A and B are shown apart, each in its own frame.
Chain A
Amino acid sequence: MKKELVKISYFPGCSLATSAKENNISLIKFCKSIGYELIELEDWNCCGSSSAHSIDSKTAFGLASRNLFLAPFDRPLLAACPSCILRLLQTHLHISQNVDLQNEYEKMFSKPFNRDLKIIHFFEILANINLPDFIESQGHNKKEKLPLDCIKFLPYYGCMLARPPEMKNIPNYHGLIEKILSSLGAEVVRWSYSSRCCGTFLSVSRPEIVTPIINDIMLQAVASGADCIVTACAMCHLNMEIRCSIKNPIPTLHFSEILSLAMGIKDYKGWFERHIVDPVPMLKQKGLI
């Protein structure tokens, strides 16, 4: 008997909705394969991104809070973009701690503030399941080798694990990419750049600062002998692709893409076509597609 999917509200954010659609689609598919239905938050707006909090904190809080007020009361709100979730969590924290702010926003959005709204990152779902057991229990025939047996990868978190001090107690699931992918058979390659910030928006306004940083990261990635980089941040993914100027870089995969491959999800063609550094030859050679 098929178990019913657990419904979760889903905030895609601008990156996943546009430049990183492959991240978005593979995430939704993967979540479905492990029993969660991501329901896009109706009429969501941009979380404000770095630009709003850089030059206009008030607007930044207003933008993030509208999404919090749109979220249905009866289910958690999930985001996968590290910077969106940070904005949403921080805004929720501020409104919870400030009655005046809460009153102001309740008036503006004509709705009560949901103090108990659970805002979760995609990692939180993963941290609570045992993927290899799950794959087996779903009746996938128990293969002799695990799905990612042949692949050597570098985990790349960028700055997503760093938090402002006021949010230090919120878990950041450090090491989760390594833990999950190695449980599926992949080999982790350790390196010193896994938490190096990718440069985010400076890649548009000051590319000459970002390119050497990205090249540094990629040079070490190539030297490590890994087959690919795996990142859980769409912004990191974009910068690794557009600001790398060294020859023969290794491909960067979204965490959700490689997880989907491991689950045997087949419609990956449309995702990999959107990569600037084509991962298809490597994945074919490894027998993953």
Chain B
Amino acid sequence: MVQNGNKILESDRDIASQVINRSNVNFNSCYHCRCCAGGCPFVKAMDYAPHAIIRLLQLGFYEKALKSSTIWICVGCNTCSSVCPMSIDMSAIMDALRQIALEHNIKVGQPSILGFHTEVLNSIERYGRTHKLEIMMRYKVRTMDLFSDMDLGIKMLTKRKLDLMPSKVKDIQAIKNIFKSDQD
């Protein structure tokens, strides 16, 4: 049984089928050639290599997979899938795991990365587009890391790479509806 504090996830089988349903990928066809790990540029920063996440799923260690840093470090670049002999869509598996982890309030392996994604989505909900300067500032406040990258920020401002004002969608209600329909 997967446990998270007092909360117990329905059943192990359920997690496996959720991953398969959401990602549309049958992870059982992976035979651990490790080509994915060989090609992934970020494998060193992960606690489990990409194929090891699949192994955890195959063996039923769902909690380990859901709590891993790997699912957050993965940027979905598809480098691994393009060399996978079984055409496993790793990026889709990682998307599924991340979202299952969030829905079940599992402890997030890389809170700062989640923080970044959340600020991006907030910006899109507010303006319909991303406002990079605001995302960066809110992200810095959120992670209480106010001073790193200060010189970079200034450089980007002087090169006009960060606009002061957001660019907005006119029909912002349509954007709100998209976010709302997700909650239904």
Contacts and interface: CB of A to CB of B under 8 A. Distances in A.
Interface of A: 14, 17-21, 43-46, 48-59, 62-63, 66, 104, 108-109, 158-159, 161-166, 168, 195-197, 199-202, 204-207, 209, 213, 238, 242, 273-276
Contacts of A109: 174
Contacts of A205: 110, 112-113, 115-116, 139
Contacts of B179: 59, 62
Interface string B150-169: 00100110011111000101
Interface stretch (B8-16, B47-55, B56-64, B80-88): B80-88
B170 interface: yes
Given A56-B121, A163-B78, A209-B73, A66 B91 contact: no
Interface string B7-43: 0000000000000001010000000000000000110
The 8 closest A-B pairs by CB, nearest first: A62-B178, A51-B120, A159-B77, A162-B78, A165-B87, A197-B77, A51-B117, A45-B128
Contact of A200 (B75, B132, B155): B75
Contacts of A207: 148-149
A236 B156 CA distance: 15
B129 A206 contact: no
Given A62-B182, A109-B174, A207-B149, A202 B75 contact: yes
- Chain B interface size, under 10 / 10 to 19 / 20 to 34 / 35 or more: 35 or more
A199 B79 CA distance: 12
Given A43-B171, A168-B87, A201-B116, A59 B76 contact: no
Given A55-B121, A202-B75, A197 B113 contact: no
19 contacts: A19-B156, A43-B170, A45-B169, A54-B95, A56-B99, A59-B179, A63-B124, A66-B175, A159-B78, A165-B81, A166-B24, A199-B41, A199-B42, A200-B75, A204-B116, A207-B149, A209-B73, A274-B161, A276-B156
Contacts of B120: 49, 51-52, 201
A163 B92 CA distance: 12
Contacts of A21: 160
Contacts of A238: 161
B141 interface: no
Nearest to A43: B170
A48 B89 CA distance: 20
Given A199-B75, A202-B42, A205-B112, 10 more contacts: A45-B175, A54-B95, A57-B99, A162-B79, A165-B88, A195-B79, A205-B116, A238-B161, A275-B159, A276-B159
A91 to B, nearest CB: 12
Given A53-B76, A59-B178, A204-B116, A45 B159 contact: no
Contacts of A165: 81, 84, 87-89
A20 B113 CA distance: 23
B161 A46 contact: no
B146 interface: no
A121 B14 CA distance: 39
Contacts of A53: 76, 95
A66 B174 contact: yes
Given A59-B178, A162-B77, A46 B115 contact: no
B157 to A, nearest CB: 11
Contacts of A201: 75, 113, 116-117, 120
B77 A55 contact: no
A204 to B, nearest CB: 6
B136 A204 contact: yes
A104 B98 CA distance: 25
A55 B99 contact: yes
Contacts of B88: 165
Contacts of B124: 45-46, 48-49, 52, 63
